[in-house]
Each structure stands twice: as C-alpha cells, then as structure tokens.
Amino acid sequence: LPIYLTDGAFVPDDGAAGPLLAACKASNQFALETEITPTGAPSADERVIMAFADDPANGNFVLAQQGDALTLRLKTDGPGTSAQPIHLCSLVQNKPNHVIVSYANGKLACFMNGTQVNIPNSLLGGLSSWTAQPLIFGAAWKGGQNWAGLMEDIGLFSREIGGAEAR
C-alpha cells in the first residue's frame, strides 16, 4: 500500500520491530527497499524517511533526506558506526526513486533505480549493538523532522541485497 505523508508519520504495529531486530542481529545483515517520491520543498535540515530509532542520532538505522541528498545513519558494533549521516545519492523531486540500501560484513551498498551508487564506506562490524527501538516512517519518533512524499513497496530485510537482485 502506498503511504502519502505530508506532515505526520506512519507507525506500524508494535509487533513489527521485534522480529526485525532479532533477525538482523542474528544475521548481521540488513537491507531496505522502497520507492520514494519526495514532494516537499528540499530542506537543509534532515527529514526522516524511515527509521528504526527512538532518536535519529542513536538509532539502529535512519534513512533521511537532507536537501536533495538521501542519507543513512547505521549503527554497527565496529569502528566507524554512523553517528553522522552518510550521503548515499541524490533524489529527484516529484519523481519516483527506487532505492535499495544493503549492509553486510562491513559492506554498505546503495542502488538507485537499479544502478549501484559509489559511496564511501567507513562502516565495519555487525549489528549486535542494535537495540529495541520503534519503527517509524515519515518523521522522527519524538516528533519533528517530518518528510513529505510518497512511499511505496517498502521492504525491510535481515539479509544482504546484491547487485544482481537490485536490477
């Protein structure tokens, strides 16, 4: 189902976060896939598209838009954990952007519309440091940082998605 957000958020059932947390910690892998269409005016401030976090600075992951940039914060148990957002790619306003972000064994990958994007990867380690936190789409858990746009075909996985599958 498409989720259209303008000034609010979607919070899935409480039961969704626990299985994702357990599976990602067990596999030490994580991927997300979605088609996003940003509709709001680009903001210099971070706007949360989706997060597994009660606080963007300390969450398991935060996918956000800052200006036209798609950014990711990802907590790992190794050096280089992402307290600061990692610039993944640029989004096109008012057009669908098919995005896949995948992490496994120190390898961070991003695919935009089926094409792998070159990104700096300073992340190492697994996901054993992930903690129980809420899943939220379109805003930060404690309010604010609202993202405006359309999200479709959302998938959260406890496995890596490679180039052949991303196409």
pLDDT tens-place string over residues 82-99? 678 999 999 999 999 999
> Could you tell me if 35 and 96 are in contact, meaning their C-beta atoms sit under 8 angstroms apart?
yes
Distance CA 27, CA 92 (A): 33
Tokens encoding 46: 């971070």
pLDDT single digits (tens) 6-57: 878 888 887 889 999 999 999 999 999 999 999 988 889 999 999 999 988 8
Phi, psi of 4, deg, nearest 5: -105, 120
> Could you tell me if 85 and 59 are in contact, meaning their C-beta atoms sit under 8 angstroms apart?
no
**Residue 145, Cβ neighbours under 10 Å: how many?**
21
The answer to pTM > 0.85 is: yes
pLDDT single digits (tens) 133-156: 999 999 999 888 999 999 999 999
- Please return the burial class of 6, using the count of CB atoms within 10 Å of its CB with bins 0-12, 13-18 and 19+: exposed
